[in-house]
Amino acid sequence: MAERQAAAGPVPGGQALPPSMRDRTTFLLYRAGDLSHSMANEMLAPIRLTARQVGILTLVIELEPMNQKALGDQLRIDRTTMVTLIDDLEEKGYVSRRRHPGDRRAFLIEPTAAGRSAKVQAIRILDEQKRRFLAPLTPDQQEQLLAFLKLLQRPPSLVI
């Protein structure tokens, strides 16, 4: 029984997962992502950022200023949540909104100097979060996991 619970991993309430969940790759991917996201948010909390906000800063700094829709599409964040995240980043002085030169109805989200600095600090924290989260894996396993996850970043084909 102890071996079965260890294989299932700890869950809230102390109960083991049933095999239909414990052995389902897609469930485990979701769960690992959720755990990683929660850990990232917890580690970023002292600098008053969330993982999603770091994603926004990263895109507008490393790619180019973008409108809210493009950011939401890239990060898979719904429109209402995106507005809240950007409002908070703007209040903190990390981004600014400027009218899109080609579309008067849209705004471009641009990083500020403070936003660039916050992103550098956040990336250091996320590097440490990655180190901690992936600690159970060997370096070779971490590389394999990264390669597999990159393969899964394409839209799934609907094979019937």
Evaluate if residue 2 carries a pLDDT over 80.
no
Evaluate if residue 144 carries a pLDDT over 70.
yes
pTM of the model as a whole: 0.81
Confidence of residue 43 (pLDDT cuts 50, 70, 90): very high
Intra-chain end-to-end CA distance of the chain, in Å: 38
Residue in the structure block whose two tokens are 């599409």: 73
Annotation: CATH topology of 20-142: Arc Repressor Mutant, subunit A (1.10.10)
Q: Could you tell me the residue ranges of all domains in the chain?
A: 20-142
Burial class (CB in 10 A: 0-12, 13-18, 19+), 126: buried
Angle between helix 25-44 and 51-62 (nearest 10) = 80
- pLDDT value, residue 4: 36
pLDDT tens sequence across 111-122: 999 999 999 999
pLDDT tens sequence across 55-103: 999 999 999 999 999 999 999 999 999 999 999 999 999 999 998 888 8
Confidence of residue 13 (pLDDT cuts 50, 70, 90): low
Contact 119, 57 (CB under 8 A): yes
Strand positions, DSSP E, the chain: 66-67, 95-100, 103-111
Burial class (CB in 10 A: 0-12, 13-18, 19+), 56: buried
**What percentage of the chain's residues is helix, strand, coil (to nearest 5)?**
65, 10, 25
